[in-house]
Amino acid sequence: MSETLDRFLEYRNKMRQYGLAVSMLYWDLQTATPKKGVECKTEAIGFFSTESFKLSTGEAYGKLLEALSRPEEFDLLTRGIQVTVTREKEEYTRYKRIPQDFYTELVTLTAKASRVWEEAKKNNDFAMFEPVLDQMIQMTKQSAKYQEPDMDPYEFMLSRYEKGMDTKQIEKLFEELKSGLVPLLAKIKAAAKPDLSALKGEYDLNAQRQWQEFLLKYIGFDYEGGGVAEAEHPFTTSLGTGDVRVTNHFYTDDPINAMFSAIHEGGHAIFEQNIDPAFWNTAVANIDLMGLHESQSRFFENMLGRNKNFWIPIYEKLGEYMPQFKEVPLDLFYRVINDVRPSLIRTAADEVTYGLHVILRFEMEKAIFGEGVPTSRLPELWNEKMEELLGIRPETDREGILQDVHWSNGYFGYFPSYLLGSIYDGMILAQLEKEMGSVDQILKEGRVKEITRWLNERIHKNGSLYTSGEVIGNLCGEGEISAKPLMEYFNKKYSELYGF
Ligand code: ZN
């Protein structure tokens, strides 16, 4: 090993330790910290994040990256380290283009924006959020300009979350979906709805926790390489090598929500748990492709979990954990978990309307960054689009433009990844069936782990080595991403379910 590589690995190790400290503290803050301890933990997160940021932007790091980029060094590196050097060098160059004062101002503004957003949402007061949101938009645009001066700012933002995707491609895919989803929704709206009252009742929290453990094991989550806890909102995080954690939130009056959150986060975690060990501690193990990540969680949640056959081998068991389900026939349960109706809140939306919620946000972001629509106009524009896409209109901004946390954090360009994930899933499902036969049959026979292993082998082990487009292209042997398979899946499933 060259001396430069030695020093590089040592440097990276230091960065990793700080990173791990931040993740552990964040995990603790979300799952265990009592109210009086929040300030101390937040301060520690600030401390370790700053140290970590200093290391990743330090001159010494820049020199190491430069040295390892020379062909005589670079060619000798493993694939994982090569990717790390290339990506980190790009990132380093971008960071260096941001003036220090500007950066500090942006960090301060982001912290403020999150607080103001929370207040504004609580009080249903967009006017309170408007000035900070406006500033966030301006500064995010400026930050993009600094980092990639030759690139359109919104394109840059999109590429942060889904490398290789641009507005034009996303527009084409979303238009394809929109023109299929809107009429499908109209047909569903006209059809008879299931009676949801059969599931009303009180469900034991411990039974729900145990059922989550059963479900996670059933789909292939590895308890020796991960763990679970409870938090306000479900999420997944990696705490260093060999430890992937998921959280959930349980409600006594709604066991279904938690079941599907468990399967969703389980999907994220299974992806992280199955990255090839050769890539551990390299940039490849850091999966920054949000569309691809979301495609895995949503594949487990929707393509598998909302398939009736998934439940056939385990439905009786569910009744053993929560006796109320003994009174609910599987057919009705299946209808309930696939109940489609327009609603105002994205995170509570069903599989069909979810796509329209994302399309709305993408159109909003294009209006903001492409057309320069003034911030004061945004709530009205939101409501108009809700009416156009879903046929309902929010009565308050809390249920409209103020509902998501993303923009207050500066995550512009993030939303499309959610729907891209589902679009990939349509293609993945079609390919899986081509190679393994009917998914219905596999699920019915309780062989879901065979599907998990197929995903491990074909997608998970490579981490973020390839872009999502490359992964799907390699998998499906088609050059282009298409929304057609997803639309076909929707049409088939829901026409059977609603009988049209
Ligand atoms: Zn997710």
In order of start, what are the domains of the chain with their CATH numbers?
Answer: 3-151 (no CATH), 167-498 (1.10.1370.30)
Q: How far away, in angstroms, is 295 Cα from ligand 1 center?
A: 8
Q: How far away, in angstroms, is 276 Cα from ligand 1 center?
A: 21
Amino acid making up residue 220: G
Region 424-437 average pLDDT: 97
The mean pLDDT of the chain is 96
Q: How far away, in angstroms, is 485 Cα from ligand 1 center?
A: 21
pLDDT at residue 46 in the model = 86
Instruction: Enter the tokens of residue 272.
Output: 């992280």
Q: How far away, in angstroms, is 448 Cα from ligand 1 center?
A: 20
CA distances from 299 to 202, 286, 427, 428, 456 (A): 29, 20, 11, 9, 13
Q: Which of 304, 215, 314, 309 is nearest to 266 (CA)?
A: 215
pLDDT at residue 461 in the model = 98
Region 430-457 average pLDDT: 98
Residue 223 predicted with pLDDT over 80: yes
Residue 470 predicted with pLDDT over 90: yes
Q: How far away, in angstroms, is 268 Cα from ligand 1 center?
A: 7
Q: How far away, in angstroms, is 410 Cα from ligand 1 center?
A: 18
Q: How far away, in angstroms, is 296 Cα from ligand 1 center?
A: 8
DSSP string for residues in 122-169: HHT-HHHHHHHHHHHHHHHHHHHHHH-TTS-HHHHHHHHHSTT--HHH
Whole-angstrom Cα distance, residue 286 to residue 148?
22
Region 428-444 average pLDDT: 98
Residue 28 predicted with pLDDT over 90: yes
Name the CA radius of gyration of the chain, rounded. Answer: 23
pLDDT at residue 246 in the model = 98
| φ, ψ at 401 (rounded to 5°) | -65, -20
pLDDT at residue 73 in the model = 96
Catalytic residue among 88, 148, 162, 265: 265
Whole-angstrom Cα distance, residue 55 to residue 281?
16
Instruction: Enter the tokens of residue 280.
Output: 């551990």
Residue 438 predicted with pLDDT over 90: yes
Q: How far away, in angstroms, is 425 Cα from ligand 1 center?
A: 13
Residue 450 predicted with pLDDT over 90: yes
| φ, ψ at 423 (rounded to 5°) | -60, -45
pTM of the model: 0.95
Q: What is the largest CA-CA distance in the chain?
A: 70
Residue 107 predicted with pLDDT over 90: no
Q: What are 33-73's pLDDT values in tens digits?
A: 999 998 999 899 989 988 998 999 999 999 999 999 999 99
pLDDT at residue 195 in the model = 86
Q: How far away, in angstroms, is 294 Cα from ligand 1 center?
A: 5
Q: How far away, in angstroms, is 305 Cα from ligand 1 center?
A: 14
Q: How far away, in angstroms, is 492 Cα from ligand 1 center?
A: 25
Q: Which of 291, 288, 286, 294 is nearest to 264 (CA)?
A: 294
Whole-angstrom Cα distance, residue 58 to residue 62?
7
Q: How far away, in angstroms, is 271 Cα from ligand 1 center?
A: 12
Region 140-154 average pLDDT: 97
Region 466-471 average pLDDT: 95
Q: How far away, in angstroms, is 362 Cα from ligand 1 center?
A: 18
Instruction: Enter the tokens of residue 364.
Output: 């909003």
Q: How far away, in angstroms, is 298 Cα from ligand 1 center?
A: 7
Neighbours of ion ligand 1 (CB under 5 A): 297
Calculate ∠ Cα 362-367-373, nearest 5°. Answer: 150
Residues 6+ apart with CB under 8 A from 263: 215, 219, 300, 301, 304, 305
Q: How far away, in angstroms, is 65 Cα from ligand 1 center?
A: 33
Which residues on adjacent β-strands are paired with residue 227?
Answer: 245
Residues 6+ apart with CB under 8 A from 285: 80, 241, 275, 279, 463, 464
Q: What are 242-300's pLDDT values in tens digits?
A: 999 999 999 999 999 999 999 999 999 999 999 999 999 999 999 999 999 999 999 99
Q: Which of 252, 165, 156, 150 is nearest to 209 (CA)?
A: 252
Specify whether 265 is catalytic. Answer: yes
pLDDT at residue 230 in the model = 97
75: pLDDT confidence band, cut at 50, 70 and 90? Answer: very high
Amino acid making up residue 140: T
Residue 77 predicted with pLDDT over 80: yes
Helix (H) or strand (E) holding 245: strand 244-248
198: pLDDT confidence band, cut at 50, 70 and 90? Answer: confident
